[in-house]
Amino acid sequence: MAFDLNKNDGSEKEPSKFDLSKGEIEKPAGQSRGWLIGLFAILVVGGGIWYYASGKTDPAAKTAAPNISSDPASVVAPAAPAKEKVSGIDTTAVTQVKSPAIKEDPIRKTSLDAAPAQLQTKALKALNHSVPVTFVQGSSSFASTNSALIKRIVAYLIKNPAASIQIDGYASSDGPIAVNQQISQARADAFKNHLTALNIEASRISATGKGIENPVASNKTASGRKRNRRVEIMFL
């Protein structure tokens, strides 16, 4: 409702300078929108300045976070450990772990040292007086050879360079005694030559003819006389 304070004197009514109606005063739309845009711009500029300033002073902000990809194929395998070159040889640096010192048991050590001597004694007992070869009648040619035994003899001599060997040659009772003596010596020499051909030094080998002594079988049978044409060995 508007009130006209002018007197009604019949003249033309002039518009009232005071409109007391309840209608809202309309604000210009352009001015309101510009004010909001300006406020938003101030906030954006202020936030940027704060972010930039905090990034300069915070050490944690300087560390870039690793770029982790969710694609398994894009994951880079860790690099191999660096190699160090020592005296012309490439070696990978490793951590050396020192094992704790182990106190030796003197009793156990003594028993271990005695074991090789016992094994050598058993080997000598097994090889001594063995027959590595037999011979043709009236000859120094081999009739049969025990290859496994010969290998054991050679292996023992190579493993024990201080050891030497005695070869005794024998004959059967066939023929004169003097001839059998010569044949037995020739048989001992023949086996000595066989060992030297297997790289055993001749100075470590002694060869002796024993004739018809110490038969291992009866000379009354052909099979017995065949067994008596032999050599036997003895380690010294």
Least confident residue range of 73-82, 102-111, 171-180: 73-82
Q: How far apart are the first and last CA of the chain?
A: 150
Enumerate domains of the chain plus CATH numbers: 119-235 (3.30.1330.60)
Name which residue leads in pLDDT, 19 or 164: 164
In angstroms, rounded to a whole number, what is the distance separating the alpha carbons of residues 186 and 180? 10
Asked if residues 192 and 164 have their Cβ atoms less than 8 Å apart, the reply is no
Beta 133-135 vs 205-209: how paired, if at all? Answer: unpaired
Q: What is the pLDDT of residue 178?
A: 95
Which residue's entry shows tokens 């019949």? Answer: 10
In angstroms, rounded to a whole number, what is the distance separating the alpha carbons of residues 204 and 223? 33
Integer CA distances (angstroms), 153 to 69, 74, 100, 130, in order: 72, 67, 43, 10
Q: What is the pLDDT of residue 38?
A: 77
Asked if residues 209 and 184 have their Cβ atoms less than 8 Å apart, the reply is yes
Asked if residues 197 and 125 have their Cβ atoms less than 8 Å apart, the reply is no
The beta strand positions in 42-183, using DSSP E, are: 83-86, 89-92, 133-135, 142-145, 165-169
**pLDDT tens, residue by residue, 185-219:** 999 999 999 999 999 999 999 999 999 999 999 99
Asked if residues 232 and 149 have their Cβ atoms less than 8 Å apart, the reply is no
User: The whole model's pTM is what?
Assistant: 0.51
Q: What is the pLDDT of residue 36?
A: 76
pLDDT for residue 85 is more than 80: no
In angstroms, rounded to a whole number, what is the distance separating the alpha carbons of residues 143 and 137? 9
